Structure 1
Amino acid sequence: MKKIYDLAIIGAGPGGIATSVEAILLGLKEVIVFEKSNNHSDTIRKYFKDNKRVDKDWKGIKVELKGNIHFTDGTKESTLDLFDTLVANKDIEACFNEEVYGITKQNNLFEIKTIKENEYYAKNIVISIGTMGKPNKPSYKLPVNLKDKINFNISECKNNEEILVVGGGDSAVEFAYYIAKQNRVTLAYRKESFSRVNPINLHQLFDFVEKDLINLQLNLDIQKVEEKNNKLEVYFSNNQIKQFDRIIYALGGSNPTDLLQRCGILLDSENKPLIDKNLRNHQEGVYLAGDIAGNVGGSIALALNHGYIISSHIQKHKPAK
């Protein structure tokens, strides 16, 4: 007979992990988590530099934790240690390297199909896949033969390179000052000032600018990028043309719309999921957690609260035996 889970969670980031932990603590017996990579917290592992500071009150937004997970300010490493401990809970079934293709509802149960053509069944679904898996890309064309020099994080950076970082959020600012001591860095942002950056990051940025470690270019658009002598030649809106060894785009992430549609998620005109105060989509038993639910902006603490809100709602509305 097929096994039926009380709860199936897609994504093993902070929102997915929190939902699984809170669900177990609230009495749900059968919980399974699907993660397409080979470990939990894939975004933190890929996009956070070693020893990166991780704040509970991200971007200065004060968050009162609602659930049972004790999360405090720390580093990339201490945050991963916390999630390592939570994922090790023997009551949570974690399926790594198992990417969900889509979900359909049949006879009050959700059928989950994976890329590997496995099938699972659950009474409730939580989608917590984040938005960083598919980073936003510029509208203009990029040289295909230099694609190894066009990145969306700093993991491929080498020392003594001329690097252009493009973006105006925390990721762009952090990328710029993390690599500035080993490279010649230009940070370009299309607006005249930063409105979405953590004050601590902003202070760090301007400190580097004052020390001539970062060349800050504001109110500047990029019109096109071409190849010249194995370098990236960038044409700016102020008629300047400069060459770089590497470009790093930090333009945010976009909702993985195709997967959401294959899961039957109702979207608005901007392809953003519609949710109520309990983070439930239009279908009974379907919820969204973390960045994919909107208004989180990368906050781990808010994603943890999502896990508690969802699990509490599922437990409260669980049919009596």
Structure 2
Amino acid sequence: MNEVLLEQFIIYGTVFALCAITLFFYTRKKKKNYTKTKEKVKLAKIEGLFEPVSLHPFIDLKSCIGSGACITACPEKDILGIVDGVATVINTSNCIGHGACFHACPVEAISLRIGSETRGVDLPHVSEDYETNIKGMYIAGELGGMGLIKNSVEQGQMAVKSMLKSKKPSKEGVLDLVIIGAGPAGISASLAAKENNMTSITLEQDSLGGTVYTFPRSKIVMTAPMNLPLYGKVKLFDTNKDELLQIWKKVIAEHQLDVREHSKVDKIVPIENEVFKIVTNTGEEFLCNQVLLSIGRRGTPRKLGVTGEESQKVAYRLLEPELIKDKKVIVVGGGDSAIESAMLLVDANEVILSYRKDKFSRLKPKNRDKIQEAESNNIIKVIYNSNLVSIKDKSVLMTIDGGEPEEFENDLVYIFAGGELPTSFLESAGVKITKRFGHIMKSHK
């Protein structure tokens, strides 16, 4: 009997010891991870990456159970972490608005928001059905706050689906729909309209692809599969701009979509019988029952306002970096677009990066590491606290640390100073614009 008890004691004691050891190492590992995450949050605050600038996850700490599903689902690194058993945001500025964290959370403790308590974002009034305060006028994609390609594609389709619920009878000379913007949301909406036998036309002020077209050629623009009407699932990962544009061109040709490039809309005028008149910069006019605004938030590129900026050697986007060789290039800006463009040019050109501040902030980790390495290896010259004051045919004048202008030999200038929101265009069409603080964005489980 004593032997049986002793044997049981040894077995239970061994199991208890193993459990205790496992728990010890598990707890120690969790504590170590918590400490690492706290350090990352501290660093993110120092580098200006903690404060969100666009769409980002907001965590309800009362509901969060610390499952870590959101961290596993996030396609970016170090956006989310676990501290003291609950999720926390880290490098919030690097969030691309994928929404995977929202979908992965088992207790719906995450919502997607735009703007914070201290940083407001101008957003148009849009209902749950993507309709603005103007009946018959809809918004989808980046303008409404959802900039990720996959999300924009989904919104373009859902906006058309909402229109079908209140579709007006077709009239001679009046289109069912005019889509403004041929980016991901616009192309998706064009296909959805065709699929549902709606007469439509798509007007793009620049080139096919909208904002996507302005990305450098090798920039990755899509990291998840998506569904396109009349096409099916697009199973592409780490896709660059050219690959995505080839898909756009293919579906446009196959389904004979009426997409007109370099056709900028100047006015949207509501007329009688709830019909809209669309007026372009070329003087063309279109009548339609419904309008979908799928334009980007950047609007018009912001200019420096310096002498010579109208020169043909000045550009606000880098389209074909591989064709630029043996040039003296100045890239102006300190954001991700400026860094990425400069790094695409350094192999075949002499590049100077001019930035008005004394250090970079809000950069994606990969871009920050690349520019620091390139600078330390003298691959690129970075001039901080600098401002262009004049652009000449063969040179530019630049002030450094507020001193007297200095002259630099130069062939090309690329300016990445952000864009001016199309607020006046929207307001002239009657769309209400409001600065939102911590606004919850519509998302679908």
What TM-score does the superposition give when structure 2 sets the normalisation length? Answer: 0.51
Partner Cα distance (1:152, 1:78) in 2 = 22
Query: Does residue 108 of structure 1 match 2:274?
Result: yes
Contact 2:205 2:265 in 1 (8 A): yes
Compared CA separation, residues 117 and 142, structure 1 to 2 (3 A): closer
Contact 1:110 1:122 in 2 (8 A): yes
1:66 positional shift: 8.0
Query: Does residue 233 of structure 1 match 2:389?
Result: no
1:185 positional shift: 1.6
Tell me which residue corresponds to 2:242: 77
Tell me which residue corresponds to 2:208: 40
Which structure would you say has the larger RCO, counting Cα contacts within 8 Å and 6 or more residues apart? 1
**Larger Rg over CA atoms:** 2
CA RMSD of aligned residues (A): 3.5
Compared CA separation, residues 64 and 276, structure 1 to 2 (3 A): farther
1:137 positional shift: 1.0
Select 1:170's aligned residue among 336, 340, 344.
336
Contact 1:10 1:33 in 2 (8 A): yes
Partner Cα distance (2:325, 2:279) in 1 = 44
1:127 positional shift: 1.5
- The code of the aligned residue for 2:400 comes to F
1:78 positional shift: 0.7
Aligned length: 263
Contact 1:161 1:183 in 2 (8 A): yes
Where in structure 2 are the equivalents of 1:305-320 lying within 5 Å?
none
Contact 1:31 1:91 in 2 (8 A): no
- Which runs of structure 1 show a deviation greater than 6 angstroms over 4 or more consecutive aligned residues? none
1:173 positional shift: 0.5
Local SS of the residue matching 1:55 = strand
1:100 positional shift: 2.3
- The code of the aligned residue for 1:80 comes to L
Query: Does residue 29 of structure 1 match 2:29?
Result: no
Query: Does residue 5 of structure 1 match 2:169?
Result: no
1:108-142 deviation line (CA, Å, top 9, x unaligned): 22222233443322222111232556211114x22
1:172 positional shift: 0.4
Tell me which residue corresponds to 2:222: 56
Tell me which residue corresponds to 1:142: 307
Compared CA separation, residues 7 and 155, structure 1 to 2 (3 A): closer
Compared CA separation, residues 154 and 209, structure 1 to 2 (3 A): same
Identity within the alignment, %? 24
Local SS of the residue matching 2:420 = coil
**Hey, which of these two has a bigger chunk of helix by percent?**
2
1:175-195 deviation line (CA, Å, top 9, x unaligned): 211111222222122334433
Query: Does residue 86 of structure 1 match 2:251?
Result: yes
1:84 positional shift: 1.4
Partner Cα distance (1:67, 1:155) in 2 = 26
Contact 1:102 1:114 in 2 (8 A): yes
Contact 1:173 1:201 in 2 (8 A): yes
What TM-score does the superposition give when structure 1 sets the normalisation length? Answer: 0.67
Contact 1:233 1:244 in 2 (8 A): no
Partner Cα distance (1:226, 1:122) in 2 = 45
Partner Cα distance (1:20, 1:107) in 2 = 24
Tell me which residue corresponds to 1:185: 351
Where in structure 2 are the equivalents of 1:243-254 lying within 5 Å?
243-245=408-410, 246-254=412-420
Query: Does residue 213 of structure 1 match 2:213?
Result: no
- Larger CA deviation: 87-96 vs 71-80: 87-96
Partner Cα distance (2:313, 2:256) in 1 = 44
1:121-180 deviation line (CA, Å, top 9, x unaligned): 2222111232556211114x2236x82333323469853333321111121001211111
Local SS of the residue matching 2:301 = coil
Partner Cα distance (1:66, 1:90) in 2 = 16
